[in-house]
């Protein structure tokens, strides 16, 4: 394919400057006919000129690509998504057209994995608790008080061999952690190939010093970590969630944290943001962040660069490198 396809953005325009800074926007212009001043928010809006559009560049704020959208896009040849999951974006009508859709989920996994690595290392040293105690006492801890902390030969258990989970395992390799992995779709030999020992979920929870959640948000994973399973985590254990709040019984988790039995690093919660009276804001054993592990700031340009690379492949007549398979949506986010 040597022609310049007509493309259009379909997302909240507030994201465009960071997704496609000047250099990337220039590359887009060389590859396609696209107007950066046009950002579709409603495929049925009067005046939307979409009949010649061949490539849809989507992102946060894009409406679903349903029957109405497809009727307005008779020449649509590909959807390039600058964010993660396409589950809410495309449905039966889209898949019936057998159109390719590409996702930047693999790119968005990178900062989440980096955030998780930092959380694991800080948690192993009890850095969050030490900061709180230092602010209160203004003194250094004694060797007796720090006898149980440290990263050497700690056991980290990862739930989910997702893109994020696999990257976290890669990042942990230079450190002296023992890693466990639970994923129902992964054979023990595959887990070993990732540098971890594959175990069932209960064993992982009961024997890990640090538990990090990386499973997808699916109907069957809702409350995956219920009251019984949370109780399996050893006293003083650390729970890290950079996945989704729906995977955890938040009431049961809150009770465990209020009791002081567990510690947690939580970037996601069931209700976002939490109610103002939630104890999770002020508990000394909870490090709570406002859903920042994914791509933010200048990291968004990496998502845009991925989309540009996919557009280059489309224009050259090559398969999209990160095409989403409908069958995969049954077990990935």
Active site residue 272: yes
> What's the rounded Cα separation, in Å, for the pair 265 and 116?
9
Rounded distance, CA 281 to CA 121, Å?
A: 22
At 25 the pLDDT is 97
Reported as a single tens digit per residue, the pLDDT across 245-267 is: 999 999 999 999 999 999 999 99
Q: What percent of the chain has pLDDT over 70?
A: 99
The yes-or-no verdict on residue 1 having pLDDT over 60 is no
Topology of the domain covering 109-288: Rossmann fold (3.40.50)
Task: Let me know if 154 is a catalytic residue.
Answer: no
Question: What residues does each domain of the chain span?
Answer: 7-103+297-330, 109-288
Architecture of domain 7-103+297-330: 3-Layer(aba) Sandwich (3.40)
315 is catalytic: no
Same fold flag, 7-103+297-330 and 109-288: yes
How wide is the angle at C-alpha 115 spanned by C-alphas 239 and 169, nearest 5°? 75
Which residue of the set 167, 182, 214, 244 is catalytic? 244
Report pTM: 0.94
Q: Annotated catalytic residue: which of 49, 145, 170, 272?
A: 272
pLDDT, one tens digit per residue, over 281-307 is 999 999 999 999 999 999 999 999 999
Neighbours of 177 (CB within 10 A): 22
The one catalytic residue among 132, 155, 261, 291: 291
Q: Hey, what are 230's tokens?
A: 């949370």
Tally Cβ neighbours within 10 Å of residue 170. Answer: 13
Q: How far is CA 237 from CA 155, 168, 200, 232, 271, in A?
A: 10, 19, 18, 10, 24
Distance CA 101, CA 26 (A): 23
Starting from the edge strand earliest in sequence, which strands make up the sheet with 177-182, in order?
197-198, 177-182, 154-159, 210-213, 238-241, 263-266, 286-288
Q: What is the pLDDT of residues 72-129, one digit of tens each?
A: 999 999 999 999 999 999 999 999 999 999 999 999 999 999 999 999 999 999 999 9
């Amino acid at each position: 394919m040597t022609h310049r396809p007509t493309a259009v953005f379909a997302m909240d325009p507030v994201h465009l400057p960071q997704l496609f800074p000047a250099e990337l926007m220039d590359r887009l212009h060389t590859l396609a006919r696209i107007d950066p001043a046009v950002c579709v928010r409603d495929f049925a809006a009067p005046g939307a000129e979409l009949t010649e559009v061949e490539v849809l560049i989507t992102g946060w704020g894009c409406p679903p690509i349903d029957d109405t959208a497809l009727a307005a896009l008779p020449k649509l040849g590909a959807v390039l998504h600058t964010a993660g999951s396409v589950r809410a974006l495309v449905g039966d009508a889209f898949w019936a057209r057998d159109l390719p859709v590409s996702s930047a989920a693999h790119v968005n996994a990178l900062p989440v994995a980096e955030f998780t690595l930092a959380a694991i290392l800080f948690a192993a040293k009890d850095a969050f608790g030490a900061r709180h105690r230092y602010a209160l006492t203004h003194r250094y801890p004694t060797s007796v008080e720090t006898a149980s902390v440290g990263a050497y030969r700690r056991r980290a258990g990862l739930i989910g061999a997702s893109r994020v989970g696999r990257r976290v395992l890669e990042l942990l390799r230079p450190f002296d952690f023992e890693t466990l992995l639970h994923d129902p779709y992964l054979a023990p030999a595959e887990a070993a190939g990732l540098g971890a020992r594959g175990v069932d979920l209960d064993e992982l929870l009961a024997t890990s010093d640090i538990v990090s959640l990386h499973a997808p948000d699916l109907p069957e994973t809702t409350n995956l970590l219920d009251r019984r399973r949370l109780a399996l985590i050893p006293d003083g254990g650390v729970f890290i969630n950079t996945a989704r709040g729906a995977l955890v019984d938040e009431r049961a988790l809150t009770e465990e944290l209020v009791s002081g039995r567990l510690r947690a690093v939580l970037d996601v919660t069931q209700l976002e943001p939490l109610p103002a009276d939630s104890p999770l804001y002020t508990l000394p054993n909870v490090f709570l962040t406002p859903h920042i592990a994914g791509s933010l700031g200048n990291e968004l340009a990496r998502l845009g660069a991925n989309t540009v690379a996919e557009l280059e492949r489309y224009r050259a007549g090559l398969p999209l490198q990160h095409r989403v398979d409908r069958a995969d949506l049954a077990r990935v986010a």
